[in-house]
Structure 1
Amino acid sequence: MSKAVGIIPARWNSTRFPGKPLYPIAGKPLLRHVWERCLCAKNLDLVVIATDDMRVVSAAFEWGAEVALTSRRHRSGTNRVAEVARKTKQFAYVINIQGDEPLIDYRLIDKVVQKLRSDRKVGVVTAAHPFEDPADASSPHQVKVVLDLRGNALYFSRAPIPAPRNDDRVVLASSQSNQWARMPMAHGRRSLFLRHQGIYGFRRKTLLQFVRWKPVRWSALNRSNNCAH
């Protein structure tokens, strides 16, 4: 069976939160929470932390993690992951797991790998779920995604999408409510705002092709990995 590697990009000089990978949460660095959850995934043959900073390297070595020191010039986490993927030719599948997702479910990682293994036509797999607090759909810190009827991603944005027409009312339920953020009826069903989750599964060939593409102009506005090209 073709092998899969999970790579966690961990940039030190985050624009919004410098030093984020080693920020302590519940007694452990943020990055360690992510790494430990990745180790529980049955479909990953190797987990690698990809970073541009020796502070992360030193800390991760203490946990026993596999670490790759990468360039500081990458414009996105995907490019950082691709640098490692170029040197790990034995892996057919490359799973990019965001370093700021301490609660990521290892079962989701396994599902992403399984989808790539089961469908040769699929080059990239990612995931999304309805917002737990629909009011968060308006936050620019949360990436939203719109899907077609087959589950293919149509568009990613930090803005609330799908956007209603002026005469359509959107209800953003508060955290005290059990309601979802409701949109107008679509295709016979009531649609929801979907939060994009921090995971991308690539066929290695697809990933290396993706990072060669030039970024489009609107990607700078969204500042999101999925909008980088």
Structure 2
Amino acid sequence: MKIVIPARYASTRLPGKPLADIAGKPMIAHVWARACEATPMADVYIAADDERILDAVQAFGGQGVMTSADHPSGTDRIAEVASTLGWADDEIVVNVQGDEPLIPPALIALVGEGLAADQKADMATASTRIMVTEDVLNPNIVKVVSDAFGYARYFSRSVIPHMRGVDVPDVTKYAYQRHIGIYAYKVSTLKTLTALPPAEVEEVEALEQLRALHHGLTIRVAEISEAPPHGVDTEADLNAVRKLVGANA
């Protein structure tokens, strides 16, 4: 199992995000350390789009790969790494976002190992039960519906499934599932996905994973007991993570 951490310098909401300081180390170093707890250090790579990120990676002893700054998604960036390093089609690659400094190593391993153990799946991801109605209604929290065999049938920002006959969904009567944004792919799947045009439904929902479902790829969904800590999208998120890391230091 390989882990690739896409690290994009030109974040719209938080420029230079991978290098943001958290307890004396750049954010990307924290993500890398978590990934190294899930698989041997030699199998962890950081896909950078800027020399400043590569310099930081070299400083803390990680492996960096320079990728194009023009990739529309982390999936495309990871596919370039797989191609550059010549990985075999059956190699498992886990995409760990570069703004997840508190991601549990066990979650990374769970998703990667789940895909490796399932010969029918092209990809793997995770979900957790939604416990409060506000989260079901929040379009920024993506919901997933899976079938009886543990494969995703649809992802949406809307409330899925719709609870007929009620105005407000009841989380005590149906186990709504929140999608956790971590993915494992086979290298062959990366090649397929990045060669396909965006699906109309993907553009409508602004959810990249719908491209895979639209084209008939299978996504295994592992349900976990609780959601991992929130990643860093904004300055407020960054300050919250700094406090958490400081409290646990």
The normalised TM-score by structure 1 is 0.80
More strand by share: 1
SS in 2 for 1:48: strand
Partner of 2:195: 212
Partner of 1:66: 63
Partner of 1:139: 138
- State the distance in 2 between where 1:138 and 1:17 align: 26
**CA pair 168-134 structure 1, distance change in 2 beyond 3 A:** closer
SS in 2 for 1:37: helix
Q: After TM superposition, give the deviation of residue 109 of structure 1 in Å.
A: 1.8
- Aligned-residue sequence identity (percent) comes to 40
SS in 2 for 1:207: helix
More helix by share: 2
- Maintained 8 Å contact 2:75/2:194: yes
- Mapping of 1:20-169 within 5 angstroms? 20-42=17-39, 46-90=43-87, 92-131=91-130, 134-165=133-164, 167-169=165-167
- State the distance in 1 between where 2:17 and 2:127 align: 23
Q: After TM superposition, give the deviation of residue 43 of structure 1 in Å.
A: 6.9
- Maintained 8 Å contact 2:9/2:50: yes
SS in 2 for 1:224: coil
- State the distance in 1 between where 2:60 and 2:132 align: 34
Partner of 2:239: none
- State the distance in 2 between where 1:209 and 1:44 align: 28
- Maintained 8 Å contact 1:8/1:96: yes
The normalised TM-score by structure 2 is 0.74
Q: After TM superposition, give the deviation of residue 114 of structure 1 in Å.
A: 1.9
- State the distance in 2 between where 1:28 and 1:138 align: 36
- Maintained 8 Å contact 1:145/1:154: yes
1:78 maps to a residue whose letter is T
- State the distance in 1 between where 2:5 and 2:206 align: 18
- Mapping of 1:176-215 within 5 angstroms? 182=171, 190-215=173-198
- Maintained 8 Å contact 1:77/1:225: no
Q: After TM superposition, give the deviation of residue 100 of structure 1 in Å.
A: 2.0
CA deviations on 1:152-189 (whole Å, 9 max, x unpaired) are 11112233333334x32435xxxxxxxxx616xxxxxx
In structure 2, the gaps of 5 or more residues are 213-249
- State the distance in 1 between where 2:150 and 2:53 align: 36
**CA pair 223-65 structure 1, distance change in 2 beyond 3 A:** farther
The list of structure 1 runs, each at least 4 consecutive aligned residues, that deviate by more than 6 angstroms after superposition, is none
In structure 1, the gaps of 5 or more residues are 172-180, 184-189
Tell me the matched-pair count.
Answer: 210
* Cα RMSD, aligned residues only: 2.4
